[in-house]
Structure 1
Protein backbone atom coordinates (compact mmCIF):
# COMPACT_ATOMS: atom_id res chain seq x y z
CA UNK A 1 0.00 0.00 0.00
CA UNK A 2 1.45 3.37 -1.00
CA UNK A 3 1.34 6.36 1.33
CA UNK A 4 -1.59 8.09 -0.38
CA UNK A 5 -3.72 4.96 -0.08
CA UNK A 6 -2.62 4.53 3.53
CA UNK A 7 -3.64 8.10 4.44
CA UNK A 8 -7.09 7.50 3.00
CA UNK A 9 -7.36 4.15 4.79
CA UNK A 10 -6.33 5.70 8.13
CA UNK A 11 -9.15 8.25 7.87
CA UNK A 12 -11.62 5.49 7.04
CA UNK A 13 -10.38 3.37 9.97
CA UNK A 14 -10.86 6.28 12.37
CA UNK A 15 -14.25 7.10 10.86
CA UNK A 16 -15.43 3.50 11.34
CA UNK A 17 -14.91 3.59 15.12
CA UNK A 18 -15.56 7.30 15.78
CA UNK A 19 -15.92 8.78 18.31
CA UNK A 20 -13.88 6.04 19.98
CA UNK A 21 -10.07 6.37 19.65
CA UNK A 22 -7.56 4.11 17.92
CA UNK A 23 -3.99 3.94 19.15
CA UNK A 24 -1.03 4.54 16.85
CA UNK A 25 0.16 1.02 17.75
CA UNK A 26 -3.11 -0.55 16.58
CA UNK A 27 -3.00 1.42 13.36
CA UNK A 28 0.63 0.47 12.81
CA UNK A 29 -0.23 -3.22 13.21
CA UNK A 30 -3.16 -2.89 10.85
CA UNK A 31 -1.15 -1.22 8.07
CA UNK A 32 2.08 -3.11 8.76
CA UNK A 33 4.24 -0.04 9.28
CA UNK A 34 6.03 1.45 12.27
CA UNK A 35 4.28 3.51 14.94
CA UNK A 36 6.51 6.40 13.97
CA UNK A 37 5.27 6.21 10.37
CA UNK A 38 1.65 6.28 11.55
CA UNK A 39 2.33 9.31 13.73
CA UNK A 40 3.86 11.11 10.75
CA UNK A 41 0.83 10.20 8.64
CA UNK A 42 -1.56 11.48 11.29
CA UNK A 43 0.40 14.72 11.55
CA UNK A 44 0.18 15.16 7.76
CA UNK A 45 -3.57 14.60 7.84
CA UNK A 46 -3.98 17.14 10.62
CA UNK A 47 -1.98 19.70 8.65
CA UNK A 48 -4.32 19.32 5.66
CA UNK A 49 -7.30 20.07 7.89
CA UNK A 50 -8.62 16.59 8.72
CA UNK A 51 -10.13 16.96 12.25
CA UNK A 52 -8.08 14.35 14.10
CA UNK A 53 -7.05 14.82 17.72
CA UNK A 54 -5.20 12.78 20.30
CA UNK A 55 -6.76 11.52 23.53
CA UNK A 56 -4.21 10.96 26.32
CA UNK A 57 -4.22 8.08 28.75
CA UNK A 58 -3.81 4.31 28.75
CA UNK A 59 -6.97 3.79 26.70
CA UNK A 60 -6.45 6.86 24.57
CA UNK A 61 -5.41 7.21 20.96
CA UNK A 62 -6.45 9.17 17.92
CA UNK A 63 -10.05 10.23 17.21
CA UNK A 64 -11.83 11.64 14.19
CA UNK A 65 -14.28 14.44 14.95
CA UNK A 66 -17.38 13.25 13.11
CA UNK A 67 -19.18 16.52 13.88
CA UNK A 68 -16.72 18.36 11.62
CA UNK A 69 -16.44 15.92 8.74
CA UNK A 70 -18.55 15.67 5.62
CA UNK A 71 -20.83 12.69 5.03
CA UNK A 72 -19.78 10.49 2.11
CA UNK A 73 -19.88 12.51 -1.12
CA UNK A 74 -22.48 11.32 -3.60
CA UNK A 75 -20.18 11.66 -6.60
CA UNK A 76 -20.39 9.10 -9.37
CA UNK A 77 -17.13 7.39 -10.31
CA UNK A 78 -17.06 9.46 -13.51
CA UNK A 79 -17.55 12.71 -11.58
CA UNK A 80 -14.90 11.75 -9.03
CA UNK A 81 -12.49 10.85 -11.82
CA UNK A 82 -13.01 14.28 -13.42
CA UNK A 83 -12.30 15.98 -10.07
CA UNK A 84 -9.20 13.82 -9.55
CA UNK A 85 -7.84 14.62 -13.02
CA UNK A 86 -8.61 18.32 -12.66
CA UNK A 87 -6.80 18.59 -9.33
CA UNK A 88 -3.97 16.41 -10.62
CA UNK A 89 -3.40 18.85 -13.49
CA UNK A 90 -2.52 21.49 -10.90
CA UNK A 91 0.38 19.42 -9.53
CA UNK A 92 2.97 21.64 -11.27
CA UNK A 93 1.10 24.90 -10.67
CA UNK A 94 1.43 27.48 -7.88
CA UNK A 95 -1.71 25.87 -6.42
CA UNK A 96 -0.17 22.38 -6.11
CA UNK A 97 -0.21 22.20 -2.30
CA UNK A 98 -3.84 23.30 -2.09
CA UNK A 99 -4.83 20.92 -4.90
CA UNK A 100 -3.13 17.97 -3.19
CA UNK A 101 -4.84 18.75 0.12
CA UNK A 102 -8.23 19.15 -1.59
CA UNK A 103 -7.85 15.83 -3.42
CA UNK A 104 -7.04 14.06 -0.16
CA UNK A 105 -10.18 15.51 1.45
CA UNK A 106 -12.41 14.55 -1.48
CA UNK A 107 -11.19 10.95 -1.46
CA UNK A 108 -11.46 10.80 2.32
CA UNK A 109 -15.21 11.52 2.28
CA UNK A 110 -16.14 9.39 -0.74
CA UNK A 111 -17.86 6.04 -0.51
CA UNK A 112 -15.11 3.44 -0.09
CA UNK A 113 -15.83 1.29 -3.15
CA UNK A 114 -16.26 4.29 -5.44
CA UNK A 115 -13.06 5.84 -4.14
CA UNK A 116 -11.13 2.65 -4.91
CA UNK A 117 -12.59 2.44 -8.41
CA UNK A 118 -11.73 6.10 -8.98
CA UNK A 119 -8.14 5.47 -7.88
CA UNK A 120 -7.85 2.50 -10.22
CA UNK A 121 -9.11 4.52 -13.18
CA UNK A 122 -7.01 7.59 -12.33
CA UNK A 123 -3.89 5.39 -12.33
CA UNK A 124 -4.49 4.83 -16.05
CA UNK A 125 -4.57 8.56 -16.88
CA UNK A 126 -1.25 10.30 -17.61
CA UNK A 127 -0.25 13.85 -18.46
CA UNK A 128 2.50 14.61 -20.98
CA UNK A 129 4.28 17.85 -20.16
CA UNK A 130 7.60 19.55 -20.51
CA UNK A 131 9.82 20.70 -17.68
CA UNK A 132 7.68 22.24 -14.95
CA UNK A 133 8.22 25.96 -14.33
CA UNK A 134 10.15 27.15 -11.31
CA UNK A 135 7.92 27.19 -8.22
CA UNK A 136 6.11 30.44 -7.48
CA UNK A 137 6.93 32.07 -4.14
CA UNK A 138 4.81 31.87 -1.01
CA UNK A 139 1.96 34.32 -1.30
CA UNK A 140 1.20 33.72 -4.98
CA UNK A 141 -1.69 31.29 -4.57
CA UNK A 142 -3.43 33.28 -1.83
CA UNK A 143 -2.83 36.74 -3.32
CA UNK A 144 -6.50 37.24 -4.19
CA UNK A 145 -7.87 35.93 -0.92
CA UNK A 146 -5.56 38.17 1.09
CA UNK A 147 -7.07 41.18 -0.66
CA UNK A 148 -4.07 43.39 0.02
CA UNK A 149 -1.42 45.15 -2.02
CA UNK A 150 1.58 42.92 -2.72
CA UNK A 151 5.17 44.06 -2.81
CA UNK A 152 6.83 41.80 -5.35
CA UNK A 153 10.32 41.31 -6.69
CA UNK A 154 10.00 40.41 -10.36
CA UNK A 155 12.57 39.08 -12.82
CA UNK A 156 11.89 39.89 -16.48
CA UNK A 157 12.86 37.71 -19.45
CA UNK A 158 16.28 39.39 -19.56
CA UNK A 159 16.93 38.47 -15.92
CA UNK A 160 16.61 42.02 -14.62
CA UNK A 161 14.92 42.25 -11.22
CA UNK A 162 12.66 45.12 -10.16
CA UNK A 163 10.57 45.74 -7.09
CA UNK A 164 7.06 47.09 -7.34
CA UNK A 165 3.72 47.21 -5.59
CA UNK A 166 0.75 45.56 -7.29
CA UNK A 167 -2.95 45.13 -6.64
CA UNK A 168 -3.91 41.48 -7.43
CA UNK A 169 -6.93 41.17 -9.75
CA UNK A 170 -6.94 37.56 -10.96
CA UNK A 171 -5.05 34.67 -12.53
CA UNK A 172 -4.60 33.42 -16.07
CA UNK A 173 -3.23 29.97 -16.89
CA UNK A 174 -1.81 29.00 -20.29
CA UNK A 175 0.03 25.81 -21.28
CA UNK A 176 1.06 25.09 -17.69
CA UNK A 177 2.24 28.64 -16.99
CA UNK A 178 0.31 30.76 -14.51
CA UNK A 179 0.18 34.55 -14.46
CA UNK A 180 -0.84 36.91 -11.69
CA UNK A 181 -2.98 39.67 -13.21
CA UNK A 182 -2.54 42.84 -11.20
CA UNK A 183 -2.74 46.61 -11.32
CA UNK A 184 0.90 47.70 -11.37
CA UNK A 185 1.40 50.93 -9.46
CA UNK A 186 4.72 51.53 -11.22
CA UNK A 187 3.06 51.69 -14.65
CA UNK A 188 -0.47 52.64 -13.51
CA UNK A 189 -1.86 49.85 -15.68
CA UNK A 190 -2.91 46.22 -15.70
CA UNK A 191 0.04 43.84 -16.09
CA UNK A 192 0.48 40.07 -16.20
CA UNK A 193 3.29 38.66 -14.04
CA UNK A 194 4.54 35.13 -14.68
CA UNK A 195 4.37 33.14 -11.47
CA UNK A 196 7.79 31.54 -12.02
CA UNK A 197 9.39 34.98 -12.41
CA UNK A 198 8.02 36.39 -9.17
CA UNK A 199 11.05 36.02 -6.92
CA UNK A 200 9.28 37.15 -3.75
CA UNK A 201 5.80 38.35 -2.78
CA UNK A 202 5.03 40.11 0.49
CA UNK A 203 1.58 41.38 1.55
CA UNK A 204 1.74 44.99 2.71
CA UNK A 205 -1.52 44.94 4.65
CA UNK A 206 -2.90 47.84 2.61
CA UNK A 207 -6.33 47.17 1.11
CA UNK A 208 -6.56 48.77 -2.35
CA UNK A 209 -9.73 50.22 -3.91
CA UNK A 210 -11.80 47.69 -5.82
CA UNK A 211 -11.16 47.73 -9.57
CA UNK A 212 -13.37 46.15 -12.21
CA UNK A 213 -11.37 43.85 -14.47
CA UNK A 214 -12.60 42.73 -17.89
CA UNK A 215 -11.06 40.45 -20.50
CA UNK A 216 -10.56 43.48 -22.76
CA UNK A 217 -8.27 45.04 -20.13
CA UNK A 218 -5.81 42.17 -20.54
CA UNK A 219 -5.26 42.74 -24.28
CA UNK A 220 -4.18 39.13 -24.85
CA UNK A 221 -3.19 38.71 -28.53
CA UNK A 222 -3.86 34.98 -28.76
CA UNK A 223 -6.49 32.58 -27.54
CA UNK A 224 -9.80 33.16 -25.82
CA UNK A 225 -10.19 33.61 -22.09
CA UNK A 226 -12.45 31.00 -20.53
CA UNK A 227 -13.57 31.42 -16.93
CA UNK A 228 -12.95 28.42 -14.68
CA UNK A 229 -16.58 28.45 -13.53
CA UNK A 230 -17.93 29.03 -17.02
CA UNK A 231 -20.56 26.82 -18.69
Structure 2
Protein backbone atom coordinates (compact mmCIF):
# COMPACT_ATOMS: atom_id res chain seq x y z
CA UNK A 1 0.00 0.00 0.00
CA UNK A 2 1.38 3.41 -0.99
CA UNK A 3 1.88 5.89 1.85
CA UNK A 4 -0.82 8.24 0.52
CA UNK A 5 -3.30 5.37 0.46
CA UNK A 6 -2.25 4.29 3.95
CA UNK A 7 -2.74 7.81 5.32
CA UNK A 8 -6.22 7.90 3.85
CA UNK A 9 -7.08 4.45 5.21
CA UNK A 10 -5.61 5.42 8.59
CA UNK A 11 -7.86 8.48 8.70
CA UNK A 12 -10.88 6.34 7.88
CA UNK A 13 -10.06 3.81 10.59
CA UNK A 14 -9.67 6.54 13.19
CA UNK A 15 -12.94 8.11 12.11
CA UNK A 16 -14.84 4.82 12.30
CA UNK A 17 -13.57 4.17 15.81
CA UNK A 18 -14.86 7.53 17.01
CA UNK A 19 -14.19 8.48 20.61
CA UNK A 20 -12.84 5.01 21.42
CA UNK A 21 -9.69 5.65 19.45
CA UNK A 22 -7.09 3.05 18.46
CA UNK A 23 -3.77 2.06 19.94
CA UNK A 24 -0.62 2.43 17.89
CA UNK A 25 -0.11 -1.34 18.13
CA UNK A 26 -3.51 -2.02 16.65
CA UNK A 27 -2.98 0.46 13.82
CA UNK A 28 0.43 -1.03 13.06
CA UNK A 29 -1.08 -4.53 12.91
CA UNK A 30 -3.94 -3.36 10.68
CA UNK A 31 -1.60 -1.84 8.08
CA UNK A 32 1.27 -4.31 8.49
CA UNK A 33 3.82 -1.65 9.38
CA UNK A 34 5.88 -0.86 12.47
CA UNK A 35 4.58 1.19 15.39
CA UNK A 36 7.24 3.76 14.55
CA UNK A 37 5.86 4.09 11.00
CA UNK A 38 2.32 4.51 12.34
CA UNK A 39 3.45 7.29 14.66
CA UNK A 40 5.19 9.05 11.79
CA UNK A 41 1.99 8.75 9.73
CA UNK A 42 -0.08 10.19 12.59
CA UNK A 43 2.35 13.10 12.89
CA UNK A 44 2.04 13.69 9.13
CA UNK A 45 -1.77 13.72 9.39
CA UNK A 46 -1.60 16.22 12.25
CA UNK A 47 0.77 18.48 10.28
CA UNK A 48 -1.63 18.40 7.33
CA UNK A 49 -4.41 19.77 9.53
CA UNK A 50 -6.27 16.57 10.47
CA UNK A 51 -7.69 16.88 14.04
CA UNK A 52 -5.74 13.92 15.45
CA UNK A 53 -5.82 13.51 19.23
CA UNK A 54 -3.75 11.24 21.44
CA UNK A 55 -4.50 9.88 24.90
CA UNK A 56 -1.59 8.43 26.91
CA UNK A 57 -1.72 5.61 29.44
CA UNK A 58 -3.85 2.45 29.75
CA UNK A 59 -6.87 2.59 27.48
CA UNK A 60 -5.31 5.41 25.52
CA UNK A 61 -4.54 5.68 21.86
CA UNK A 62 -5.21 7.92 18.88
CA UNK A 63 -8.36 9.24 17.29
CA UNK A 64 -9.98 12.05 15.32
CA UNK A 65 -11.90 14.91 16.89
CA UNK A 66 -15.66 14.75 16.44
CA UNK A 67 -15.51 17.70 14.06
CA UNK A 68 -13.76 15.44 11.55
CA UNK A 69 -16.92 13.38 11.03
CA UNK A 70 -19.29 14.13 8.20
CA UNK A 71 -22.51 15.88 9.13
CA UNK A 72 -25.79 14.03 8.51
CA UNK A 73 -26.35 13.45 4.80
CA UNK A 74 -29.78 13.21 3.23
CA UNK A 75 -29.91 10.52 0.56
CA UNK A 76 -32.74 8.29 -0.55
CA UNK A 77 -32.17 4.51 -0.41
CA UNK A 78 -32.08 4.50 -4.23
CA UNK A 79 -29.42 7.22 -4.30
CA UNK A 80 -27.30 5.29 -1.82
CA UNK A 81 -27.61 2.11 -3.87
CA UNK A 82 -26.79 4.04 -7.05
CA UNK A 83 -23.47 5.07 -5.49
CA UNK A 84 -22.73 1.50 -4.39
CA UNK A 85 -23.61 0.12 -7.83
CA UNK A 86 -21.48 2.67 -9.67
CA UNK A 87 -18.42 1.90 -7.57
CA UNK A 88 -18.95 -1.87 -7.64
CA UNK A 89 -19.35 -1.88 -11.42
CA UNK A 90 -16.10 -0.01 -12.02
CA UNK A 91 -13.39 -1.67 -9.89
CA UNK A 92 -10.78 -0.92 -12.57
CA UNK A 93 -11.52 2.80 -12.63
CA UNK A 94 -8.80 5.19 -11.44
CA UNK A 95 -8.98 5.82 -7.70
CA UNK A 96 -11.72 3.18 -7.32
CA UNK A 97 -10.46 2.18 -3.87
CA UNK A 98 -10.75 5.77 -2.69
CA UNK A 99 -14.21 6.01 -4.27
CA UNK A 100 -15.33 2.91 -2.37
CA UNK A 101 -13.96 4.40 0.86
CA UNK A 102 -15.84 7.63 0.13
CA UNK A 103 -19.10 5.78 -0.44
CA UNK A 104 -18.53 3.85 2.78
CA UNK A 105 -18.05 7.15 4.61
CA UNK A 106 -21.37 8.44 3.27
CA UNK A 107 -23.22 5.22 4.14
CA UNK A 108 -21.84 5.35 7.68
CA UNK A 109 -23.59 8.64 8.40
CA UNK A 110 -26.99 7.81 6.89
CA UNK A 111 -29.80 7.51 9.37
CA UNK A 112 -30.44 3.87 10.38
CA UNK A 113 -33.79 3.66 8.59
CA UNK A 114 -32.39 4.83 5.25
CA UNK A 115 -29.33 2.64 5.63
CA UNK A 116 -31.52 -0.40 6.31
CA UNK A 117 -33.70 0.22 3.24
CA UNK A 118 -30.58 0.83 1.14
CA UNK A 119 -29.07 -2.47 2.31
CA UNK A 120 -32.28 -4.28 1.39
CA UNK A 121 -32.42 -2.69 -2.05
CA UNK A 122 -28.71 -3.38 -2.63
CA UNK A 123 -29.42 -7.13 -2.47
CA UNK A 124 -31.56 -6.65 -5.58
CA UNK A 125 -28.71 -5.20 -7.65
CA UNK A 126 -26.14 -7.69 -8.95
CA UNK A 127 -22.84 -6.77 -10.59
CA UNK A 128 -20.66 -9.17 -12.57
CA UNK A 129 -17.31 -7.67 -13.45
CA UNK A 130 -14.17 -9.20 -15.02
CA UNK A 131 -10.98 -9.58 -12.98
CA UNK A 132 -9.32 -6.24 -12.41
CA UNK A 133 -5.78 -5.25 -13.28
CA UNK A 134 -3.01 -5.41 -10.71
CA UNK A 135 -3.63 -3.18 -7.69
CA UNK A 136 0.09 -2.39 -7.60
CA UNK A 137 -0.03 -1.21 -11.22
CA UNK A 138 -3.12 0.92 -10.68
CA UNK A 139 -1.67 2.45 -7.50
CA UNK A 140 1.48 3.47 -9.39
CA UNK A 141 -0.51 4.97 -12.27
CA UNK A 142 -2.79 6.86 -9.89
CA UNK A 143 0.16 8.26 -7.95
CA UNK A 144 2.00 9.25 -11.12
CA UNK A 145 -1.09 11.03 -12.47
CA UNK A 146 -1.84 12.86 -9.22
CA UNK A 147 1.76 13.90 -8.64
CA UNK A 148 2.55 14.42 -12.34
CA UNK A 149 5.60 12.18 -12.24
CA UNK A 150 7.04 10.07 -15.03
CA UNK A 151 6.00 6.41 -14.72
CA UNK A 152 8.10 3.53 -16.07
CA UNK A 153 5.92 0.87 -17.72
CA UNK A 154 6.52 -2.68 -18.81
CA UNK A 155 3.88 -2.94 -21.53
CA UNK A 156 2.73 -5.74 -23.80
CA UNK A 157 1.08 -4.52 -26.99
CA UNK A 158 -1.74 -6.29 -28.83
CA UNK A 159 0.80 -7.89 -31.19
CA UNK A 160 2.55 -9.55 -28.24
CA UNK A 161 5.65 -7.36 -28.22
CA UNK A 162 6.84 -6.18 -24.80
CA UNK A 163 8.70 -2.94 -24.13
CA UNK A 164 9.80 -0.89 -21.17
CA UNK A 165 9.20 2.80 -21.57
CA UNK A 166 8.91 6.03 -19.60
CA UNK A 167 5.57 7.80 -19.89
CA UNK A 168 4.36 11.21 -18.77
CA UNK A 169 0.74 10.62 -17.68
CA UNK A 170 -1.76 13.10 -19.11
CA UNK A 171 -5.19 11.55 -18.54
CA UNK A 172 -7.17 8.37 -17.89
CA UNK A 173 -9.84 7.43 -20.42
CA UNK A 174 -12.52 4.77 -20.53
CA UNK A 175 -13.96 3.52 -23.81
CA UNK A 176 -15.65 0.30 -24.89
CA UNK A 177 -15.34 -1.10 -21.40
CA UNK A 178 -11.56 -0.63 -21.14
CA UNK A 179 -9.46 1.84 -19.23
CA UNK A 180 -6.49 3.53 -20.85
CA UNK A 181 -3.57 5.60 -19.64
CA UNK A 182 -2.96 8.37 -22.15
CA UNK A 183 0.44 9.96 -21.93
CA UNK A 184 3.54 11.24 -23.64
CA UNK A 185 5.73 8.23 -24.44
CA UNK A 186 9.40 9.17 -24.21
CA UNK A 187 10.34 6.04 -26.15
CA UNK A 188 8.22 7.01 -29.18
CA UNK A 189 8.37 10.79 -28.57
CA UNK A 190 4.61 10.97 -29.09
CA UNK A 191 1.28 10.80 -27.31
CA UNK A 192 0.16 7.18 -26.85
CA UNK A 193 -2.81 5.27 -25.41
CA UNK A 194 -1.90 2.34 -23.14
CA UNK A 195 -4.49 -0.28 -22.23
CA UNK A 196 -4.22 -0.51 -18.44
CA UNK A 197 -4.83 -4.27 -18.43
CA UNK A 198 -1.76 -4.71 -20.68
CA UNK A 199 0.56 -2.91 -18.28
CA UNK A 200 2.53 -5.65 -16.52
CA UNK A 201 4.50 -3.40 -14.20
CA UNK A 202 4.53 0.29 -13.33
CA UNK A 203 6.95 2.25 -11.17
CA UNK A 204 6.77 5.94 -10.37
CA UNK A 205 10.09 7.65 -11.00
CA UNK A 206 11.48 10.79 -9.38
CA UNK A 207 11.29 12.71 -12.65
CA UNK A 208 8.65 15.41 -13.04
CA UNK A 209 6.51 15.56 -16.15
CA UNK A 210 7.54 18.19 -18.67
CA UNK A 211 4.13 19.82 -19.05
CA UNK A 212 2.20 17.99 -21.78
CA UNK A 213 -1.46 18.94 -21.58
CA UNK A 214 -4.87 17.38 -22.16
CA UNK A 215 -5.28 19.65 -25.20
CA UNK A 216 -2.47 17.73 -26.93
CA UNK A 217 -4.55 14.54 -26.75
CA UNK A 218 -7.26 16.20 -28.81
CA UNK A 219 -10.97 16.74 -28.31
CA UNK A 220 -12.89 13.89 -26.69
CA UNK A 221 -15.52 12.08 -28.78
CA UNK A 222 -19.00 13.58 -28.83
CA UNK A 223 -20.27 11.04 -26.31
CA UNK A 224 -17.31 11.44 -23.92
CA UNK A 225 -16.67 14.04 -21.24
CA UNK A 226 -14.40 14.68 -18.27
CA UNK A 227 -15.46 13.43 -14.86
CA UNK A 228 -16.54 16.46 -12.86
CA UNK A 229 -19.27 15.23 -10.52
CA UNK A 230 -21.94 17.54 -11.94
CA UNK A 231 -24.42 17.36 -14.77
CA UNK A 232 -23.26 19.08 -17.94
TM-score band (shorter)? 0.5 to 0.7
Unaligned runs of 5+ in 1: 1-7, 25-38
TM-score norm. by structure 1 comes to: 0.67
Secondary structure (helix, strand or coil) at the match of 1:85 reads: helix
Please list every run of 5 or more consecutive structure 2 residues that lacks an aligned counterpart in the other structure.
1-11, 32-37
- Counterparts of residues 104-183 of structure 1 (less than 5 Å): 104-129=104-129, 131-135=130-134, 137=137, 138-183=139-184
Aligned to 1:212: 213
Supply the distance in 2 between the matched residues of 1:158 and 1:109 (Cα, whole angstroms): 49
Q: Residues 1-55 of structure 1: CA distance to partner in whole angstroms, max 9, x if unpaired?
A: xxxxxxx9x977x55xx4xx3899xxxxxxxxxxxxxx69x947x99x9989885
1:65/1:101 CA distance change after superposition, 3 Å: same
Change (3 A) 1:100 1:94: same
Distance apart, 1:226 and its partner CA: 2.7
Aligned partner of 1:3 in structure 2 is none
Q: 1:142 to 1:122 in 2, by over 3 A?
A: farther
Q: Distance in 2 between matches of 1:105 and 1:206?
A: 35
The structure in which a higher percent of residues are helix is: 2
Name the CA distance, whole Å, in 2 between partners of 1:187 and 1:74: 50
| Distance in 1 (alpha carbons) for counterparts of 2:52 and 2:100 | 18
Check whether the contact 2:155–2:200 (CA below 8 A) recurs between aligned residues: yes
Q: Residue 192 of structure 1: CA displacement? A: 0.7
**Separation in 2, partners of 1:142, 1:59:** 37
What's the offset of the Cα at 1:75?
Answer: 2.7
CA RMSD of superposed structures (Å): 3.7
Equivalent in the alignment of 1:101: 101
Q: 1:43 to 1:72 in 2, by over 3 A?
A: farther
Q: What is the count of residue pairs matched by the alignment?
A: 198
Q: How far does the alpha carbon of each residue in 1:166-206 deviate from its partner, in whole angstroms, 9 at most, with x for none?
A: 11111111344211010112222211111111122222222
What residue number does 1:31 align with?
A: none
* Contact 1:133/1:177 (8 A) holds in 2: no
- Counterpart of 1:228 in structure 2 is 227
1:172·1:181 contact (CA, 8 Å) conserved in 2?
yes
Q: Where do 4+ consecutive residues of structure 1 move more than 4 Å? A: 49-64
CA distance in 1: counterparts of 2:190 and 2:154, whole angstroms? 17
Change over 3 Å in CA distance of 1:54–1:90 after alignment to 2: farther
Match of 1:76 in 2: 76
